[in-house]
Amino acid sequence: MGIKNHAGEADSVSFLNMHPGLFLDRSARVYPDKVAVVYGEKQYTYQEFDERVSRLAGALVQSGVSAGDRVAYLVPNTPQMLEGHYGPMRMGSILVAMNTRLSSKEIGFIIRHSCAKALIFDSEYAEVIGEALGGEGIVDVLVEVVDTSDASGLFGAIEYEEFLIGAADVEVPQFDHSELDTIAIDYTSGTTGEPKGVEYTGRGAYLNALGQALDAGLSSISIYLWTLPMFHCNGWCYTWAVTAVGGTHVCLKQVNPEEVFSLVAQHSATHMCAAPSVLTMLEASPMAIEGALSGVKIFTGGAPPAPRMLRAMQSMGAELHHLYGLTETYGPSTIAAVQPDWAGMSIEDQARMKSRQGVPVTTLHVGLRVVADDMEDVPMDAETIGEVVVRGNTVMAGYYLDPKASANAFQDGWFHTGDLAVVHPDGYMELKDRK
């Protein structure tokens, strides 16, 4: 029997479209009674998590949202935001998770640019949402999450739990996704103009989530503490990665050091991702005592970890890892993968090695280069500067409704990041500047 080379789509026996909603389908089947989500005193098992997601999907369908419509969220790290990473996808619509720190003008731009059909917001942001919308009729469906703030009833918004209860009997068949369908649009910060909508596909999100699970060492006994915003690159795809392995999500609405330390101790957290500013807050806390973060793997991006920070985290028992990526690469695209011989180095030398942006994450494979203007690789001499370019399964599909910006970003078969870097003799990349 000869080897088949399928030029087109493979048949249904040997091919299944990849999208991260499949992770919840499996974990609800394999771990139905295992705790999936924790938030304060609330806990949901995987079966309950799956049922709530089904009700959310049904409620969206019942309210007139169709496959391909955009569902915008302005919700912090609560279970409702986590459910937002599955419910819209289950019925074929597209998640637009917005940065909760944006101004009303920026939020209004995103809602209008994405042509959001539905908007789900936390009561805490009712005022900024009111300013962003400017009146009724901008979105067809308005849903309010009432958590720690009183209900606003803004423009007749329906309360989230009522929204779900009203769809208890709605049957939503599993949407037949192509893995190249857009499942989420993540907007950039807009530092060089209006924010751009970065399109994530089911395939890219699925693979990057698996890559994060592999590189972070996630498993079914992992307890992930949500100190990274879920709106940021969909929480670096950990919204899906933790679910993929059947781990537990511990939601944290607002980061403060005392609560982080308390939740780590209470739930025996094993993993968290954090911006350098969060690490600085933890280091400065009176609760930052020896062993306070024992056994926790922490993943950080942005500013490289300094020797002082590395020493502080080690004293508290944490294992610190450095990542690099962009919104356009679903979050992390490189990791300063720790080599066995680094353990014998001084803290200063370890910091020097770990401060580099490193090597491609598992599912990016070898799709990262540092190149000169002629697209030739720069020498691995730690001195010659080139631009970081990326390609592969975990690069965005393009910028939503912006073919010109997409064409500018995709040149010579690579996504051009605009970041300048050198490559060390061991193959590890180190950023130096912006282009």
Beta bridge partners of 301: 323
> Which amino acid belongs to residue 165?
I
Report pLDDT digits (tens) over 264-287.
Answer: 999 999 999 999 999 999 999 999
5: confidence class by pLDDT, cuts 50, 70, 90? very low
pLDDT, mean of residues 404-420: 97
What are the φ/ψ torsions at residue 119 (nearest 5 degrees)?
Answer: -135, 125
Whether residue 9 has pLDDT greater than 70: no
* Cα–Cα–Cα angle for 96, 274, 335, rounded to 5 degrees: 95
Counting Cα atoms < 13 Å in the Cβ hemisphere of 203 gives: 14
7: confidence class by pLDDT, cuts 50, 70, 90? very low
**Cα(331)–Cα(213) distance, integer angstroms:** 13
**Cα(238)–Cα(84) distance, integer angstroms:** 14
Looking at CATH, the fold of the domain delimited by 202-367 is given as: Rossmann fold (3.40.50)
230: confidence class by pLDDT, cuts 50, 70, 90? very high
Whether residue 174 has pLDDT greater than 80: no
Contact partners, residue 250, CB within 8 Å, separation at least 6: 38, 39, 223, 224, 225, 226, 263, 267, 269
> Which of 3.40.50.1820, 3.30.43.10, 3.40.50.980, 3.30.565.10 is the CATH number of 34-176?
3.40.50.980
Domains 34-176 and 202-367 share a fold: yes
Assigned token pair, 160:
């989230």
Helix 276-284, helix 307-315: angle, nearest 10: 60
**Domain ranges for the chain:** 34-176, 202-367
Whether residue 6 has pLDDT greater than 70: no
Whether residue 3 has pLDDT greater than 50: no
The pTM (predicted TM-score) of the whole model is: 0.96
Write the DSSP string, 309-372.
HHHHHHHTT-EEEEEEEEGGGTEEEEE-PPPGGGGGS-HHHHHHHHTS-BEE-GGGTT-EEEE-
**CB-CB neighbours of 382 under 10 Å:** 13
* Cα–Cα–Cα angle for 249, 313, 343, rounded to 5 degrees: 110
**Cα(336)–Cα(96) distance, integer angstroms:** 30
pLDDT, mean of residues 309-335: 97
